Amino acid sequence: STTDYSMPSDDKRSVLFVCLGNICRSPIAEAVFLEEVKKRGLEERWGADSAATFGYHTGKSPEGRAMSTLKKFGVTDYKHRARVLRPDDAQEFDFIFGMDDSNIRDIKDELRSHKGKAVIDLLGSYDPQGKKHVPDPYYESGTARFEEVYHQCVRCVKAFLDKHN
């Protein structure tokens, strides 16, 4: 092609999933997304990462219940270390998804002065069941809420990829 883009992988699009601490919801969403991308044979087309709005858990692996939930549903090769949202994420990613309204506010605050291409939206805006918010399971006992989060992320990710491919 004669069009010269600055990035060699310009046709590859990327998604950043963001929650408060980057150890529960956003890693589950990222893992589910990568799994669905793999199932559809779209690894050349899509990349993903996840991040926190606050650095409570920077450098830590996802919460144990998040990992056991992923494993229960067959996602066994996911690895991640929590990181904080960075200003250059606005330029780096095509889509940045928050899990709830306070995530969206924090993302917009953090990226306000940084021009970027990223579309910032609630992941739940893609939920065919109409659940706009992905609830934080961190303070709940057991894994039931984590499994709800997993299933909601699966619904949203499938709907997103159906729309954007």
Catalytic residue among 24, 25, 106, 155: 25
88 is catalytic: no
Catalytic residue among 89, 100, 106, 136: 136
Are 1 and 10 contacting, i.e. CB atoms less than 8 angstroms apart? Answer: no
156 is catalytic: no
31 contact partners, CB below 8 Å, separation of at least 6: 70, 75, 78, 80
19 is catalytic: yes
To 10 degrees, the CA torsion angle through 44, 46, 52, 58?
Answer: -10
Are 35 and 75 contacting, i.e. CB atoms less than 8 angstroms apart? Answer: yes
Point out the residues that are catalytic. 19, 25, 136
